[in-house]
Structure 1
């Protein structure tokens, strides 16, 4: 058995890949990872058991301009699969699965896992039909949000997993937000959703009690820093890329997590972002958008509060602070973390069965 793990980005954006790798290592199964560096053009590099395909296809690029780099990625991916003679595959997200769908159905039926982490092009009927075929012919299909069932076919092959690494850091203390003179609202991750974040920034613009922080690589279509300079907004801080090992220190400087994504498309209304898990692990309340599956989770488990960007003002944050109880919030985080752990045990069990087929 030799397994190929196919990612659609670099390792830093795929924390859950550890679950697969840990099981493969513990069972002495040969495997290799294939990543896509979408920010640099270069020859494909192999280091140890990791391939990195270098083809520029930056988030926020015009969709037509993505066609050629997608094609190059597909061709290079298929070349590696042929060269390495993998017996099994794990396909992380639907796009690479759709790009090589004929190869998967012809050569890997019931010998691949499809791992779905977001909504992509399912609004197109042809894409949706291919995804349906991929699910039906997979060994099993993992989804990171039950909200995805709104656009996926019903199937007994679908199981729930979570966008959380296996070796996560968990804070045991919760700070009392009521004692803080200044509140920092932080967005940690790939910076996008320009219009929604402009509205959020405007709510807190130049208010001395609030600091907004954006940490991560920005999308081409999300120049929030330029927007703040143009509007003369001084209480917004921008920092560049980070690696996941830095998160514990990053979140020590943050009081609320900005998980505002809008609610106008299935891409944002059905997903559960990495920031949800950051909030649970680092014990930070989450700001979520109304009309999303994230809102359901945040409300149900008491993990923060939701806002409507069209009508909200600072009073909703002040109201949350007035009723905030750090011990209760800690307990809420732990309850949801236990649910996640149970789901992950079932997920891991299915990966183990996969290695035996």
Structure 2
């Protein structure tokens, strides 16, 4: 570890691989030659590539036991506080709502208006204790970045919010891929990419499109291997499970997609208000994306002209519905619309960088 003095730290209760869009900060720091530290929980015991001046890892076993999980994050919170006290950072980037809630009193009292919160998901903000802590930590922040405009529906009123789209251009730095729509009769590859958080929903989807030679279903990401026994038991032959992957391999897998699968659940605050990372892959590459109606992800996919919207009352034959919608999708009109939405996305990033300029000016 290089114990050089850093002005900034990023603190997180998840591994780097799960810190989606942290590159929006780290790229800015590198470009402006601002040294930064990272303090995080390491659940996997792995070395993750980064450009930080100093990396403080708190080794924690990846467990499903709820009590063990609580003990681990509380121990990490104590560990992180000690490092922050010792190094007296000018600015703290607080990654995700759990980290912010756990450290709310410490941040609000000791580092008022010297930290940025990043809210990535719905975190049971209607519960009284969480609501109070959330309100306190946001009120005393320099800025609270939200990854969806609809998060303001459940967050406390504040003038500290900045909506920043979760697009990571770094993924596509060495990629010249241009999407081309498949002709009628060619098999359509539907790609699920990312952590498999809803295996049952994926099994239902596979059932409806399984052994249909119009489709090739690919699943890549942590947890996708868990679908293997289901596929074998049901003798399904048009599914490929590719397991976990490195972030720098994302573009490689996206190049193989004709449609991106973003079908989770709907009808809950968490799923309906969020904006999926997969949405931004689809917008940038101009690839159609499967989304449920009445979700925020579908609203933006529709705006970009890349939506294949699945009604909340699902069609009797989902395979036929998706196939027909894909054939009717207009690639040229979508490309015009995605260009407009990409301008909006980059503008949100520039607003964050302007705020960082203001906070870190000499």
Query: Is the CA contact 2:97–2:118 (under 8 Å) kept in the aligned structure 1?
Result: yes
Aligned match of 1:72: 75
2:41 corresponds to which of 36, 42, 47: 36
Aligned match of 2:226: 223
Superposed structure 1 runs of 4+ greater than 4 Å apart: none
1:183-332 aligned at under 5 Å gives the runs: 183-218=188-223, 223-308=226-311, 311-312=314-315, 313-332=318-337
3-state DSSP of counterpart to 1:178: coil
Give the Cα separation in 2 of the matches to 1:348 and 1:119.
Answer: 25
Structure 1 residue 147 corresponds to structure 2 residue 142: no
* Distance verdict in 2 for CA 1:48–1:112, change over 3 Å: closer
Aligned match of 1:97: 100
* Distance verdict in 2 for CA 1:195–1:310, change over 3 Å: farther
Higher mean alpha-carbon deviation, 119-128 vs 337-346, is at 119-128
Aligned match of 2:3: none
Q: Deviation digits for residues 173-206 of structure 1, max 9, x if unmatched?
A: 2212234611111111111212221221111011
1:8 corresponds to which of 7, 13, 20: 13
3-state DSSP of counterpart to 2:105: helix
Give the Cα separation in 2 of the matches to 1:121 and 1:285.
Answer: 31
Structure 1 residue 122 corresponds to structure 2 residue 125: yes
3-state DSSP of counterpart to 1:16: coil
* Distance verdict in 2 for CA 1:3–1:311, change over 3 Å: same
Deviation at residue 48 of structure 1 after TM alignment = 4.3
Query: Is the CA contact 2:210–2:237 (under 8 Å) kept in the aligned structure 1?
Result: yes
Length-normalised TM-score, structure 1: 0.90
Give the Cα separation in 2 of the matches to 1:75 and 1:9.
Answer: 15
For this pair of structures, how many residues does the alignment match?
A: 350
Q: Deviation digits for residues 234-267 of structure 1, max 9, x if unmatched?
A: 2211112112221222112111101112114222
Structure 2 portions without partners, runs of 5+: 1-5
Deviation at residue 216 of structure 1 after TM alignment = 0.8
Q: Deviation digits for residues 134-193 of structure 1, max 9, x if unmatched?
A: 111100111011121121122111011122225342656221223461111111111121
Deviation at residue 328 of structure 1 after TM alignment = 1.8
3-state DSSP of counterpart to 1:261: coil
1:336 corresponds to which of 338, 341, 355: 341
Deviation at residue 35 of structure 1 after TM alignment = 2.7
* Distance verdict in 2 for CA 1:353–1:136, change over 3 Å: same
Length-normalised TM-score, structure 2: 0.89
1:108-119 aligned at under 5 Å gives the runs: 108-119=111-122
Higher mean alpha-carbon deviation, 259-268 vs 110-119, is at 259-268
1:129-144 aligned at under 5 Å gives the runs: 129-144=132-147
Query: Is the CA contact 1:248–1:282 (under 8 Å) kept in the aligned structure 2?
Result: no
1:21 corresponds to which of 19, 26, 43: 26
Deviation at residue 287 of structure 1 after TM alignment = 0.4
Structure 1 portions without partners, runs of 5+: none
Deviation at residue 23 of structure 1 after TM alignment = 3.0
* Distance verdict in 2 for CA 1:48–1:28, change over 3 Å: closer
* Higher RCO by CA contacts (8 Å cutoff, separation 6 or greater): 1
